[in-house]
Structure 1
């Protein structure tokens, strides 16, 4: 399915695939530490590989990386793609994985071009994938590097102490004692 939406020769593929593979591996490691069952592990593997599929809808058509929609829209666009593919649970992961989630209030206050509703991870699988995603950037300069807990805290602090608090809670639940 990834290749149907994001061909291997497309400009985005070179950052998409490494990113989702690393996020998925991290999420599966967390899930195994927590003792999740095989069905949950399979879902995390599938949803982890698809969580950023919405980049295809926000990328422009120009060579290199240009944008036709603001990047913040990639989660919601991913939901549309995955729902059309008949994957409603996977679609929720795509829509809710940005940072530690975005509330309707934050969408209103920041005037974000998103549906005005809570886009916050709810299930344990959604939270694990979102947590794992925080450690790996799609930025070419950081693509192959795992971010530190302190770097994640600093990045989230730009969006408010409440965002850092969610991460801290997740880190206590999902981290390896870093």
Structure 2
């Protein structure tokens, strides 16, 4: 089953244990969906321009996708990518308590994937939750960093999944929530090694850097 946007919103309401948790996590997902869809539309414009100029898929440069992206699917995937976060709360923020995540945060993508599969959501959509952490987690990273995950690759399996993963780096559920500039995101990627930074730079070249200022103003959040 491919959920509608309305169904995705209902899933947030269903699994949010408190209004505080809903506002933090759902708002983050809406922001990532918005960033991702905007980047998809820009990528599609570059693709259309290249095709109109007679470029073949093989000759397109790194800033032009190899095919047109499904911008609506990117938006849906963005809405659902972090839904597993509701499952790893140490404190849900109800009744004035501080909201806090527990020490299983690395598992939130897998938790979201399992939640969506249990709801009958198609694999192609559920994978937006499973495969969005950082710039993608390889089996080798899971082992080398002793991550609390089943040993496997957690890498995007489509351009749409890759774009949501990339967009997710531009906003944080830090309290208070913040937007993350490209230089700050690059520094974060570099903390996990040269290969991680190389993958980040590839994503920047491929999809470009979103304009965060309008969203930061809309949501009243800082860009760091």
TM above 0.5, one fold?
A: yes
| Aligned partners of 2:12 and 2:22 also within 8 Å | no
Aligned to 2:16: 6
Q: What TM-score do the two structures reach when normalised by structure 2?
A: 0.72
Aligned to 1:71: 105
Larger radius of gyration: 2
Aligned to 1:132: 167
Which residue, 76, 94, 97 being the options, matches 1:46? Answer: 76
> Is 2:42 the counterpart of 1:33?
yes
* TM superposition shift of 1:24: 0.7
Other structure's SS at 2:179 match:
coil
Aligned to 1:169: 202
Other structure's SS at 2:23 match:
helix
Aligned to 1:111: 146
Which residue, 147, 159, 162 being the options, matches 2:192? Answer: 159
Aligned to 1:91: 126
* TM superposition shift of 1:69: 4.9
CA gap 1:92/1:55 in 2 versus in 1, 3 angstroms: same
1: distance between equivalents of 2:175 and 2:137? Answer: 25
* TM superposition shift of 1:55: 0.7
> Is 2:89 the counterpart of 1:59?
yes
| Structure with more of its chain in strand, by fraction | 2
Q: CA RMSD in A?
A: 1.9
| Aligned partners of 1:100 and 1:121 also within 8 Å | no
Structure 2: tracts of 5 or more residues without a match: 1-10, 45-67, 212-224
* TM superposition shift of 1:42: 2.1
Structure 1: tracts of 5 or more residues without a match: none
| Aligned partners of 1:15 and 1:139 also within 8 Å | no
Deviations 1:98-130 (A, max 9, x none): 000111111111111111010011210011101
**Greater than 6 Å deviation, 4+ residue runs:** none
Q: What TM-score do the two structures reach when normalised by structure 1?
A: 0.89
